């Protein structure tokens, strides 16, 4: 026995559609390619083949099942284009992280604030994190002050999604960009 025999078969893209003789219903509803109406399956197949097209099952769950008389390659192309357009419409949300120290210097703070503003202007979410080293966690209020200051200074660019939360030795909150007017 060959190793090739044990591999699962890859289905062709066309095999996900039931066409012509693979349609096992006595009556079907045709919505495209022939005059709309209810046909016997065998009659619809004959008429489609006379036109040089395929009878393709679109909706199996309807009563009677819905079919189109169309070239199978054209239908697959239309489906692929429709999927591509849907994917283009979806926006990808990227979250950038900027880390602060509770004892951050003023210049360092301003530099990191500028990067937060740049990320928000590009439409990305920003995760602002204050990380505590060693026993700095005892001064959690300083970290909260840093995040509160950041939130007020970037108010025109972004809005905090929630209050700062402490996870382990990190105090963090997420800022989402404001909608463009």
Q: What is the mean pLDDT of residues 127-150?
A: 90
Question: Could you identify the residue written with the tokens 């909608």?
Answer: 179
The residues of the chain that CATH labels 3.10.20.80 are 3-87
pLDDT of residue 136: 85
Write the class of the CATH domain 95-177. alpha beta
The residues of the chain that CATH labels 3.30.110.10 are 95-177
Q: Between 150 and 6, whose confidence is greater? A: 150
Q: Between 9 and 67, whose confidence is greater? A: 67
pLDDT of residue 19: 85
Residues 142, 78: Cα–Cα separation, whole Å:
58
- Given a cut of 60, whether residue 180 has pLDDT beyond it is no
* Entry field: residues in the chain: 181
Question: Is the preceding omega at residue 64 within 30 degrees of 0, hence cis?
Answer: yes
- Given a cut of 50, whether residue 181 has pLDDT beyond it is no
Domain 3-87, CATH: 3.10.20.80
Residues 117, 177: Cα–Cα separation, whole Å:
9
Q: What is the mean pLDDT of the chain?
A: 86
Q: What is the mean pLDDT of residues 56-85?
A: 89
Label residue 111 by pLDDT band (50, 70, 90). very high
Q: What is the mean pLDDT of residues 4-13?
A: 62
Question: Could you identify the residue written with the tokens 């219903």?
Answer: 25
């Amino acid at each position: 026995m060959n190793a090739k025999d044990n591999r699962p078969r890859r289905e062709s893209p066309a095999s996900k559609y039931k066409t012509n003789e693979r349609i096992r219903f006595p009556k079907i509803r045709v919505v495209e390619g022939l005059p709309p109406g209810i046909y016997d399956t065998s009659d619809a197949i004959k008429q489609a083949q006379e036109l040089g097209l395929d009878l393709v099952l679109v909706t199996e769950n309807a009563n009677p099942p819905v079919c189109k008389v169309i070239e199978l390659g054209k239908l697959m192309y239309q489906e692929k284009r429709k999927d591509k357009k849907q994917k283009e419409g979806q926006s990808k949300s990227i979250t950038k992280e900027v880390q602060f120290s509770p004892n951050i210097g003023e210049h360092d703070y301003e530099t990191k604030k500028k990067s937060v503003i740049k990320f928000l202007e590009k439409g990305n979410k920003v995760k602002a994190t204050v990380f505590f080293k060693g026993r700095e966690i005892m001064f959690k209020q300083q970290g909260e002050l840093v995040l509160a200051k950041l939130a007020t200074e970037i108010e025109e660019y972004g809005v905090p999604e929630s209050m700062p939360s402490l996870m382990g030795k990190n105090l963090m909150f997420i800022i989402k960009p404001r909608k463009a007017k």
